[in-house]
């Protein structure tokens, strides 16, 4: 039996899915890719902010539906695109080993940007964090696939990209500066690929268990707990990241992006203890920015 993988058709998504396919073939599976066009893809050529067309989930819902409709057994996503609430009828069977979770500037380094220089990014989180470091900067909307975005570097300015996206496409030579993820806290799950299957599909779940990276699963599960505590519909600037030393870094800003709370919290114990720490941090941050 062939295992069908539903994926977006973008270059980055296909590369990510091919990594999953290679891992599954090493486990003895026959694999083919099924291309899916998502709402996020259909609006890539516009400058409409993602939060205005649905926020989290605009790149995943149609891919998930392909599994629910029986067009594929598996759905591959960038974990940062997944809403914190698990879709009905699906389960995350594997978190692939994480690449770099950091953001990067392409164009000029932060200390090379002149006062009033423009940084292009569609992320409210990235804008809020950069504004804290450089309140003099101007910001522009940025949409499109990776190669399209790389053609939109403002004159004398920069764009912000996930290092992992550049790693997947072997474009890290374009990085001007990797931003410290303990300061510029990444999106929840950034740098990780998540693979879903139908909750009742034991065969696919058991297959995915062979490629599941337990360390990545622990980290991303704790990060997702922080986001879930804020509410699955949260559109505020938010980030959470568990680093290699077991510290949870969190960030939340208010709607204006000015009132912001960040913490660095050492994690001890099992994943449930980490989830409890994340939830408590989310409640503190939400109370602080809501004042």
Q: 163-194: buried (b, 16+ CB within 10 Å) or exposed (e) per residue? A: bbbbbbbebbeebbbebebeebbbbbbbbbbb
Question: Is residue 158 assigned to a domain?
Answer: yes
Instruction: Please report the pLDDT score of residue 192 as a whole number.
Output: 98
pLDDT value at residue 255: 80
DSSP 106-132: ESS-GGGSPTT-EEE-S-HHHHHHHHH
Choose the weakest-confidence range: 31-45, 112-126, 170-184: 31-45
- The answer to whether residue 138 sits within a structural domain is yes
Q: At 30, is the secondary structure helix, strand, or coil?
A: strand
52, pLDDT greater than 50: no
The pLDDT tens digits of the residues spanning 149-158 come to 999 999 999 9
Identified catalytic residue from 99, 125, 127, 224: 125
Average pLDDT over residues 11-37: 95
Mean pLDDT of all residues in 268-290: 96
Domain hosting residue 113, numbered range? 103-178
* Residue 91 burial class via C-beta count within 10 angstroms: exposed 0-12, middle 13-18, buried 19 and up: middle
Active site residue 234: yes
- Interval 209-221: pLDDT, tens: 999 999 999 999 9
pLDDT tier at 55, thresholds 50, 70, 90: low
Residue of 8, 108, 127, 143 marked active site: 143
In a domain, 8, yes or no: no
102 or 256, higher pLDDT: 102
* pLDDT at residue 24 in the model: 98
98, 99, 108, 149: the catalytic one is 149
Q: Over range 192-207, report the average pLDDT.
A: 97
Is residue 109 part of the annotated active site? The answer reads no
What is the band of 54 on the pLDDT scale with cuts at 50, 70, 90?
very low
- pLDDT tens track for 57-112: 677 999 999 999 999 999 999 999 999 889 999 999 999 999 999 999 999 999 99
The domain that holds 118 is classified in CATH as 3.40.190.10
Of 41-45, 75-79, 244-248, minimum mean pLDDT range: 41-45
Taking only the tens place, the pLDDT of each residue in 5-16 is 999 999 999 999
Decide if 284 is inside a domain. no
4, 8, 80, 108: the catalytic one is 80
Domain assignment present for residue 133? The answer is yes
The predicted pLDDT at position 104 comes to: 98
Active site residue 143: yes
- 42: confidence class by pLDDT, cuts 50, 70, 90: very low
Note whether residue 126 is domain-resident. yes
Residue 90 lies in a domain: no
Q: State the Cα–Cα distance between residues 181 and 104, nearest whole angstrom.
A: 10
Domains of the chain: total: 1
Residue 120 lies in a domain: yes
279 classed as catalytic: no
The pLDDT of residue 47 is: 57
Split at pLDDT 50, 70, 90, the class of 269 is: very high
Which pTM was predicted?
0.92
């Amino acid at each position: 039996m062939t295992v069908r993988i539903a994926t977006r058709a973008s270059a980055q998504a296909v590369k990510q899915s091919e990594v999953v396919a290679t891992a599954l073939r090493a486990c003895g599976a026959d694999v083919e890719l099924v291309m899916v066009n998502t709402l996020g893809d259909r609006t890539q050529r516009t400058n409409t902010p993602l939060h205005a067309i649905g926020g989290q989930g605009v790149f995943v819902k149609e891919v998930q539906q392909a599994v629910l409709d029986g067009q594929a057994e598996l759905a591959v996503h960038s974990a940062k695109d997944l809403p914190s609430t698990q879709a009905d009828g699906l389960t995350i069977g594997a978190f692939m080993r994480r690449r770099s979770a950091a953001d990067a500037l392409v164009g000029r380094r932060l200390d090379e940007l002149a006062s009033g220089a423009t940084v292009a990014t569609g992320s409210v989180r990235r804008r809020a964090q950069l504004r804290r470091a450089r309140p003099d900067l101007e910001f522009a909307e940025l949409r499109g696939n990776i190669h399209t975005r790389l053609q939109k570097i403002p004159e004398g300015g920069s764009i912000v990209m996930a290092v992992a996206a550049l790693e997947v496409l072997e474009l890290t030579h374009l990085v001007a500066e990797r931003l410290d993820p303990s300061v510029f806290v990444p999106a929840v799950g950034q740098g990780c690929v998540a693979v879903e299957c139908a909750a009742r599909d034991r065969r696919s779940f058991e297959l995915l268990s062979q490629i599941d990276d337990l360390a990545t699963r622990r980290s991303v599960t704790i990060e997702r707990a922080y986001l879930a505590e804020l509410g699955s519909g949260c559109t505020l600037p938010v980030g959470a990241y568990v680093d290699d030393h077991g510290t949870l870094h969190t960030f939340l800003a208010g709607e204006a992006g000015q009132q912001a709370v960040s913490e660095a919290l050492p994690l001890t114990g099992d994943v449930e203890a980490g989830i409890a720490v994340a939830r408590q941090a989310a409640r503190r941050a939400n109370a602080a920015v809501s004042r």
